[in-house]
Amino acid sequence: MVLEHRKHVVTANIPVAIALAKRGSAVINPVAGVVLAEEPKPFLDNMIGLVSPYAGIHNLDLSPDSLSMVDGAQQIWGQLTPHDDSSFDSVPRHDRGSSAVRAYQSEAEIANAYYIYIHPYLPLLPPPVAPQHEDHHTVIRPFDEASQAKKSHFAYWPTSSLTLALSAMLVLIPTAEDTFPIAETSLALRRSYAQLFAQAALTAVETETDDLSPASSTNMFEAESCRAHGLHPQVPTQLHPVMALVVLSIYEYCQRGNISRMRARGNQAITTAMDISLHRLDSTATDYSEAQRRAWWMTIWVSYLSSNLHISPPIVSMDDPRITTPYPKFGVCLEPWSIMMKAQGALFESHKIVQNIERVDETTILPDFGTRIRNLDSNLVSLIGEADHHILATFDEEPEASIAQNMWMISRMFIHAARIRLHRFRAFMDIPLFLDKYCDLAAINTADFPHQTSPPKWVTDCDVSFPFTEQESSIICLKSSLVITTIYRNLPYPNLLTSPPSSRSTAYPKTIPYFACSGIQTCYALLMLLHRLRASIATGRFEDCYHLFNNPTPASEIADAERLREELRHGVEILGRSLKSDVIFEGVGGMGQEVEGAYLAAFPNSFEI
């Protein structure tokens, strides 16, 4: 039995397995030092795919045969999931004629739909100047199975790069007329029209950018002709290519799963914005200043978002001395713009320091890593305190009060995700992990993997170089994971302006899921903690999990363990449901499947989340 368990660990992660074996334990167990015969093997198998920075991201621009080693980590779930995915795919096969996509008849209708579905999570435009109304889309149906997405299918075609980019996102949202919105034919239809809009938007960006003259950038926002476009009277057409690239960056991640293109679109947005001096604005207020400020700072924000996903530094730092542009304003008592930027910066620093630790070799000296980790954690704690202030604030009934609250919550999520990222490998060192370069399943299954005889330095030196104990890091991961779970539960659905909350269709996405990686990493932490807790319960060694309980005693330990188990289970359920609602975004939609697979492996008597 011991050998079989060791074999399982080696298959999951050979370096960590070797490190555990060298601890001299006769048996391997992450908590109690014993092997649990009743511990289901699929439980750990289904969590391996959750830990890679690319976990759950499906790149639509790569065929399975062309995947590189890193891309293979992105597709790892399809190889590992042992359970039946029928709960996700239980939609009847039907002809393409029953599918439908949404279309709009004017720039104003596109703008109205943007404020309903996109603006709450991607506030690019200033607040609307006209009252919002119910979404007035029309329905486009293909003529037959072989029908291709064509511009001629639309009675109205967007006139700018920005409305084309927004249309690429909006067309992904299923219509009420589509009976089976997650059927493959429906997904494929929306995918083809979204790509049609996205490609047209990129072409329009090139044309519009060619018309921008750096020499005239000083006066380009003063012309009255800037008001001519119908999208928003306070958004000059000169800003459209910058904003379009920001939207396309999010599109490339959420829908296409292409992080490289996401980063390329974001970098192009930065370059275009700087070409028209959006980074050098002063505090002078004009009709266009709010739009200009949002264009700049949302571009910076998305640039950092792509850097965190790509694990590479942004091309322009948010503290670059050339930047003089003030933050935009939501018009609320507690503006979130500063914390939005700090959260992205903190997440990047967390990724960077963990990446540095994982890349050390036997010749590397780690004299200052402990200090750097301690300082970063202290900074994260300060940011958590700053981000928590909005919980006590009462936002007035301003037009964008709910938007400001959303961005506060998302910023809190990113900060806690950064802390989980910093502490995760220390907290779960004794569980098989796929961290960065160790996340390639195919390489582990090759014939030469048994010859890897020494663990990486970050495994053997963790007790010396990491200034937190395993228990301390576990507590931090638990607390931050529960905060993120609460945030996910509180994020609002789109306000459709017609239906009461209880009757909202599940066909609509809850969010624009650019923060889905935070959710899946949180699920990983919760499931790892659940694994430890189950080991303690099965062996009766509750004291091994006392650090996770609240003031435990021998008399209360069983109740404490049961309470924590239900709390962890409930957290995974909340995150899993939210991630499953993102299934219409194919780039990240698979994350819901991954979490559900791990959940069903942990709770085999359940049918679905």
- pLDDT of 340 > 90? The answer is yes
Paired with 140 in beta bridges are 101
Question: Which position has the token pair 């200090």?
Answer: 371
Identify the residue with better confidence: 192 or 146: 192
- Gap between the Cα atoms of 488 and 526, Å rounded: 14
Per-residue pLDDT band at 254 (split at 50, 70, 90): very high
Ranges of beta strands (E only) in 151-275 are none
- Range with top average pLDDT, 37-51, 192-206, 422-436: 192-206
Predicted confidence at residue 354, as pLDDT, reads: 84
Report which secondary-structure segment, H or E, holds 103.
strand 101-103
The full set of domain ranges for the chain reads 31-82+509-602, 96-328, 337-432+454-468
Residue 218 to residue 224: CA distance in whole angstroms: 15
Alpha helices in 255-317 (DSSP H): 259-275, 289-310
Query: What average pLDDT does range 495-512 have in this prediction?
Result: 67
Among 561-570, 583-592, 596-605, top mean pLDDT goes to: 561-570
SS3 259: helix
pLDDT recorded at residue 177: 86
More confident residue, 126 or 353: 126
Percent of the chain with pLDDT over 90: 54
Distance CA 116, CA 11 (A): 47
The pLDDT tens digits of the residues spanning 270-279 come to: 999 999 999 9
Q: Report residue 313 as tokens.
A: 């530094």
More confident residue, 510 or 121: 121
- 338/595: higher pLDDT: 338
Q: What is the pLDDT, as a whole number, of residue 41?
A: 53
Mean pLDDT, to the nearest integer, of 552-558? 91
| Residue with more model confidence, 438 or 522 | 522
Q: Kindly tell me the sign of the dihedral angle through the C-alpha atoms of 499, 501, 507, 512.
A: positive
Q: What is the 3-state secondary structure (H, E, C) of 404-429?
A: HHHHHHHHHHHHHHHHHHHHHHHHCC
pLDDT in the model for residue 14: 31
pLDDT digits (tens, 9 = 90+) for 152-200: 999 999 999 999 999 999 999 999 888 888 899 999 999 999 999 999 9
Query: Residue holding tokens 């992080």?
Result: 259
The residue behind tokens 């698979």 is: 590
pLDDT at 230: 75
pLDDT of residue 219: 52
Q: CB–CB of 275/214 below 8 Å? A: yes
pLDDT of residue 595: 86
pLDDT, tens digit, 9 for 90 and up, residues 449-502: 344 455 556 566 666 678 999 999 999 999 999 999 999 999 999 988 765 554
What is residue 609's predicted lDDT score, i.e. its pLDDT?
82
Angle subtended by helix axes 470-490 and 401-427, to nearest 10:
160
